[in-house]
Amino acid sequence: MGKTEFTNIEKYIRTRDLKNLKPVAKYIEMKFPARIHITLIDANRFISERGTGGIGFAVQMDNIMTISLADEDCQNAPKESTPLISHITSITKKILGYEQGIQVNFHNHPFFRPHTGVGYSTAILTSCTYGLNMLFGAPLNTEEIRDLVIHNYVEVLEGKLSKETEAATVTTGVGGFLTLKGGFVIVGGDFRIIYNSKFFPSYFVSLIDPGVVRIPGEQATASAMQKILREDEAFRYHKAYLILMDLIPALYSEDFETIGDIIWRLQFGGNNLLEGEKYEDGGKRISEVMHALRFSQKPRPIVSISAEGPIICAISKNIDIIHKVCDELNLRSFVTQVDNEGLKVMKKGNSLRNPLMSSDNK
């Protein structure tokens, strides 16, 4: 992939005593969650390196990654993920001072797809970094792993890494934290964790695909982004007030209805208000589905689009009514729960283990 240019955080990590590291295990198998990204706090900070801030929570999903020492680098994974794996493996190996091969096997849940709003890129980059770090005795702490991913974040766009194109892709820091720790998180400026906690473990979470098509091309995205920046410039202060004065207290008291009301308000101001403009129907279908879910029952479900979508989430105790709405609107859905634990190590050992994944992943 060519020479890696180290970022400031990588230079900082490399100044620590990471010489003469030796593997403590030959393979590690992990399961990691997806994430729902409820809103940015200020989209205008995309142009800075201080982070936009954001709110989100993790959802249980069987995404399995196995990392093994090998003679050479190789990936047995969906084609959309292999550039991400190669990118972050190359950087992490250099930081750890490891020059031999790494094999990464990755099997994703069918609902865990790129550019659908479930945190695909961040979760893969974070999990791969975490697994490699564990093979060498965990010399990097959790914050260093988060920073490493934040400052080396990329996505795959039309088969190429975003850093090889003119596209601007920035992470908020929400997904990296949720991949590792789970639960609910609020991230502020400079990617600092403002609040995190467990989040309604006994409720059902439905992920709903409204079946809409995003407008292709960078020009359409750039046009929508300009409108989003202007809208967030006005709404960011109201977001900050809602989060500090209403949302965080409601989270502490586990007030489901108030949390739902605030999250619903956030869908109709700032960046979320205009995410639908990135779709061919101008967001009409997404809005129709969100309203049908929100007003389907009492207490009203917590409903939000995730990131740029199109995936919509609905949190409720009465899953039958959510199923009914999905059937009436001919929607594909997946029912799960909040993941309050984050990434789990399933197996770790000293015997080389390179299980082949099914041909469906190729």
Q: What are the structural domains, with CATH classification, of the chain?
A: 8-197+341-361 (3.30.230.10), 204-336 (3.30.70.890)
Looking only at the bridges linking them, the beta strands covering 101-107 and 74-76 are parallel
C-alpha to C-alpha distance for 116 and 288, rounded to whole angstroms: 18
C-alpha to C-alpha distance for 35 and 58, rounded to whole angstroms: 4
Report residue 278's pLDDT band, with 50, 70 and 90 as the boundaries: confident
Higher pLDDT, 219 or 344: 344
Question: What's the pLDDT at 354?
Answer: 43
Radius of gyration of the chain (CA): 20
Average pLDDT over residues 171-175: 93
Q: Residue 11: is its pLDDT beyond 60?
A: no
Q: Residue 360: is its pLDDT beyond 50?
A: no
Q: Residue 240: is its pLDDT beyond 90?
A: yes
Report residue 111's pLDDT band, with 50, 70 and 90 as the boundaries: very high
E strand or H helix that includes residue 177: helix 174-181
Q: Residue 357: is its pLDDT beyond 70?
A: no
E strand or H helix that includes residue 233: helix 218-241
Q: Determine contact, residues 146/191, Cβ cutoff 8 Å.
A: yes
Q: Residue 212: is its pLDDT beyond 50?
A: yes
Average pLDDT over residues 70-87: 96
Packing angle between helix 120-135 and helix 174-181, nearest 10 degrees?
50
Question: What's the pLDDT at 9?
Answer: 59
Question: What's the pLDDT at 326?
Answer: 98
Residue 102: closest CA among 130, 66, 138: 66
% of residues, the chain, pLDDT over 90:
73
Residue found by looking up tokens 């954001």 in the block: 54
Q: What is the 8-class DSSP label of residue 109?
A: -
C-alpha to C-alpha distance for 314 and 165, rounded to whole angstroms: 35
Question: What's the pLDDT at 46?
Answer: 80
C-alpha to C-alpha distance for 154 and 144, rounded to whole angstroms: 17
Average pLDDT over residues 4-32: 75
C-alpha to C-alpha distance for 67 and 129, rounded to whole angstroms: 10
> pLDDT per residue over 305-316, tens digit each?
999 899 999 999
35 bridge partner residues: 58
Max CA distance (Å), the chain:
61
Question: What's the pLDDT at 155?
Answer: 92
C-alpha to C-alpha distance for 337 and 203, rounded to whole angstroms: 6
C-alpha to C-alpha distance for 330 and 308, rounded to whole angstroms: 21
Average pLDDT over residues 25-38: 97
Report residue 233's pLDDT band, with 50, 70 and 90 as the boundaries: very high
E strand map for 122-176? 156-157, 160-161
C-alpha to C-alpha distance for 123 and 196, rounded to whole angstroms: 18
Question: What's the pLDDT at 33?
Answer: 98
Q: Would you call 31 helix, strand, or coil by DSSP? A: strand
